[in-house]
């Protein structure tokens, strides 16, 4: 995810579905988030999820009681939800009446409940499922999904969930698809006293009885994988942010005991980051709830209004905490705007990754902006297209040998840099704003959470510019290889030609510097010419506006890989020689 650090980027490009020998094998439905919805799931609107959890860290055990309200958009005979088979189902009810065991089944993590009578369009049904069991454990969160059972430095239990890759069904019955977002989620989370629960949305109080505490939280339109549990010996930092849009945003940071001084330093970064996002993109989307952050035993995740933070307050060369900034970006790109399918994951991660060079440009200027982009460029792999053109579950985006992986982050970001240079700042930021909010003039109260696809964004760009940019997005997102700018010099000048896969048209204008003069080359039909005096030198794309194939980057990557392989083999041989 973050731009300049390849190892940490691989970390936050989470959910690679690592094998876990210690855990029972997950079935296909449970393990893969974003598989096509069942017809019964497509037939309903998920209006409300009321989720009661009792979390027992000593036993590593979860008791769940979920009451789900669905409205039928078309007639439906069954309700279908996704729920991990790690749990035993204790009871099932529909509209307050017990459903016999013969009327429901959950063979592979997709639970089907037969209704006593067909649900007519426009009518509602309330499904209640009580369940219990040992939740799937994330051995290396957030790379793999599940529960993290940890111990805080002061000795208390420290528990978190991170389920982006494997999905919400790892701990609550849901529709595990980007379009399965419930309109409201209410959580009642019971934990041993005196542990604290930091949750999504608005805090609605806490009750304590018989050595247990129950915390109540309420959130609107949460992204399915953004619903989370965060439990620990937390202390709370509080403040307020006065928005340029006239409203006031609650700021909350739950940090571990003993980290107060470091937490104060991180908390101070909330305000400039909000200044940046509100100025460059638009209003913080969840201002009537909070901007919240919680310290977690895993690296991080964009949990709506309660972003997970586990970067250990590290100081970076950029002068800000990259993890905090990247996860905050997802409140706009991921939570306010949610992709319609995982094949369009770059809308979350490419846009979110571009926010980090952009933040550096906003903070300190062009040198640090370009430096951050160059670090992204050095990490591109370009083996698989960012967009496959078919519906994908999340795990296939990261599947070794098949998916784009971290190119979803970096290629998406660098493409946006190129698009900005092509259409100009006014059109670029208006297009981003409309993508996120559905309007070019967002204000608190005049927008709702929304879903979008790559084609939606292309349509916005085309309408704003009055030109057809499908060729641009096809060249960068639907092709694995980058376009190559070929230059051939003859006696009178320089011929330029864009080379793409299958020689598809790519009429991207470029600049050429000849001496002290920069020449704009239109590249009509993907070709152009620059006249050169006999002794003149030239530089292609002197201001680095264009993402393109660069042979020296490929050579650098190969040399780095070869050296790493040789070092590993040497270390292995030395280890074998030791007695």
Instruction: Write out the binding residues.
Output: 326, 330, 349
Residues 561 and 542 in one domain: no
Q: Are 564 and 504 contained in the same domain?
A: no
Residues 156 and 84 in one domain: yes
Q: What is the pLDDT of residue 245?
A: 98
pTM of this structure: 0.93
| Among candidate residues 189, 207, 242, the one where a domain is terminated | 242
* Catalytic position from the list 215, 409, 469, 476: 409
82 belongs to a structural domain: yes
Q: What is the helix (H) or strand (E) element at residue 410, kind and residue range?
A: helix 407-423
Residues 101, 173 share a domain: yes
**Rounded distance between C-alpha atoms, residue 33 and residue 15, angstroms:** 10
Note whether residue 573 is domain-resident. Answer: yes
- The owner of tokens 């549990």 is 229
Same domain? 573 vs 499 = no
Closest to 526 measured CA to CA, from 510, 544, 513: 510
Q: Is residue 11 part of a domain?
A: yes
Q: Which of 245, 435, 282 lies closest to 351 in space, CA to CA?
A: 435
Residue 115 lies in a domain: yes
Kindly state the DSSP code that residue 8 receives in the 8-state scheme: H
First vs last C-alpha separation in the chain: 42
- Count of the separate structural domains present in the chain: 3
Give 575: exposed, middle or buried? Use CB within 10 Å, 0-12, 13-18, 19+: exposed
The verdict on residue 523 lying in a domain is yes
Q: Is 154 in the same domain as 216?
A: yes
Residues flagged as binding site for Zn(2+): 326, 330, 349
In three-state secondary structure terms, 539 is strand
> Which spans in 254-406 are helix H?
260-267, 270-280, 322-329, 346-364, 366-379, 394-398
> Within a domain: residue 28?
yes
| Tens-digit pLDDT string for the chain (579 aa) | 333 333 344 333 333 322 333 334 444 577 789 999 999 999 999 999 999 999 999 999 999 999 999 999 999 999 999 999 999 999 999 999 999 999 999 999 999 999 999 999 999 999 999 999 999 999 999 989 999 999 999 999 999 999 999 999 999 999 999 999 999 999 999 999 999 999 999 999 999 999 999 999 999 999 999 999 999 999 999 999 999 999 999 999 999 999 999 999 999 999 999 999 999 999 999 999 999 999 999 999 999 999 999 999 999 889 999 999 999 999 999 999 999 999 999 999 999 999 999 999 999 999 999 999 999 999 999 999 999 999 989 999 998 888 999 999 999 999 999 999 999 999 999 999 999 999 999 999 999 999 999 999 999 999 999 999 999 999 999 999 999 999 999 999 999 999 998 899 999 999 999 999 999 999 999 999 999 998 899 999 999 999 999 999 999 999 999 999 999 999 999 899 887
**What's the pLDDT score for residue 12?**
37
| Domain-ending residue, one of 225, 242, 259 | 242
CA distance 370 to 374: 6
Residue 543 has what DSSP assignment? T
Q: Are residues 535 and 564 in the same domain?
A: no
Q: Do 507 and 557 have their domain in common?
A: no
530 plus 577 within the same structural domain: no
Which of 50, 181, 327, 396 is catalytic? The answer is 327
- Provide the domain limits for residue 508: 484-548
Angle at 48 between CA 44 and CA 52, to 5 degrees: 130
132 lies in some domain = yes
- What is the pLDDT at residue 28? 55
Confidence at residue 20, expressed as pLDDT on a 0 to 100 scale: 31
Measured between alpha carbons, how far is residue 115 from residues 88, 97, 175 in Å?
Answer: 21, 11, 17
**Does 72 share its domain with 156?**
yes
Is 327 designated active site? Answer: yes
Choose the final residue of a domain: 242, 265, 282. Answer: 242
If asked whether residues 158 and 79 sit together in one domain, one would say: yes
CATH number of the CATH domain containing 22: 2.60.40.1730
Concerning whether 409 is annotated as a catalytic residue, the answer is yes
- Do 57 and 99 have their domain in common? yes
Rounded to 5 degrees, φ, ψ at 163 are -130, 25
Beta bridge partners of 54: 63, 190
């Amino acid at each position: 995810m973050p731009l300049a650090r390849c190892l940490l980027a691989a970390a936050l490009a989470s959910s690679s579905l690592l094998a876990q020998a210690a855990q029972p094998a997950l079935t296909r439905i449970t393990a893969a988030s974003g598989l096509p919805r069942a017809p019964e799931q497509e037939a309903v609107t998920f209006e409300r999820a009321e989720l009661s959890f009792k979390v027992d860290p000593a036993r590593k055990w979860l008791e769940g009681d979920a009451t789900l309200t669905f409205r039928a958009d078309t007639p439906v005979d069954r309700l279908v939800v996704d729920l991990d088979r790690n749990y035993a189902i204790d009871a099932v009810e529909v509209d307050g009446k017990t459903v016999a065991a013969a009327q429901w089944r959950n063979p592979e993590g997709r639970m089907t409940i037969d209704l006593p009578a067909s649900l007519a369009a426009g009518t509602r049904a309330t499904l209640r499922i009580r369940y219990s069991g040992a939740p799937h454990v994330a051995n290396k969160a957030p790379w793999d999904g599940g529960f993290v059972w940890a111990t805080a430095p002061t000795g208390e239990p420290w528990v978190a969930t991170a389920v982006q890759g494997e999905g919400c069904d790892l701990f609550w019955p849901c529709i595990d698809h980007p379009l399965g977002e419930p309109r409201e989620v209410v959580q009642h989370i019971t934990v041993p006293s005196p542990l604290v629960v930091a949750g999504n949305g608005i805090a609605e109080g806490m009750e304590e009885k018989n050595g247990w505490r129950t915390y109540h939280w309420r959130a609107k339109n949460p992204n399915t994988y953004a619903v989370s549990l965060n439990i620990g010996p937390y202390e709370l930092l509080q403040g307020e942010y006065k928005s340029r849009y006239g409203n006031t945003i609650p700021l909350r940071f739950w940090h571990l005991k003993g980290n107060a001084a470091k937490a104060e330093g991180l908390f101070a970064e909330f305000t400039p980051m909000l200044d940046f996002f509100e100025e460059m993109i638009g209003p913080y989307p969840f201002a009537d709830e909070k901007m919240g952050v919680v310290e977690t035993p895993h690296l991080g995740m964009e949990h709506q209004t309660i972003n997970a933070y586990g970067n250990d307050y590290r100081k970076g060369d950029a002068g800000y905490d990259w993890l905090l900034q990247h996860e905050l970006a997802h409140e706009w790109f991921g939570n306010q705007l949610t992709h319609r399918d995982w094949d369009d994951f770059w809308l979350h991660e490419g846009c979110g990754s571009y926010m980090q060079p952009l933040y550096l440009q906003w903070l300190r200027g062009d040198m640090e902006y370009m430096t951050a982009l160059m670090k992204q460029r050095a990490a591109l792999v370009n083996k698989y297209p960012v967009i496959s053109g078919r519906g994908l579950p999340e795990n296939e985006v990261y599947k070794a040998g098949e998916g784009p992986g971290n190119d979803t982050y970096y290629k998406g970001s660098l493409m946006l840099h190129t698009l900005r240079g092509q259409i100009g700042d006014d059109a670029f930021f208006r297009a981003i704003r409309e993508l996120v909010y559905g309007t070019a003039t967002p204000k608190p109260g005049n927008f709702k959470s929304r879903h979008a696809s790559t084609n939606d964004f292309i349509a916005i760009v085309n309408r704003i510019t009055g030109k057809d940019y499908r060729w641009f997005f096809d060249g960068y997102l639907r092709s694995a290889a980058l376009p190559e700018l070929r230059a051939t010099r003859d006696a009178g000048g320089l011929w330029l030609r864009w080379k793409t896969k299958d020689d598809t048209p790519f009429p991207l204008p470029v600049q050429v510097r000849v001496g002290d003069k920069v020449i704009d080359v239109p590249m009509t039909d993907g070709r152009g010419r620059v006249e050169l005096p006999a002794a003149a030198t030239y530089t292609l794309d002197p201001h680095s506006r264009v993402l393109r194939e660069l042979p020296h980057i490929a050579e650098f990557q190969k040399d780095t890989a070869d050296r790493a392989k040789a070092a590993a083999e040497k270390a292995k041989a030395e280890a074998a020689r030791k007695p």
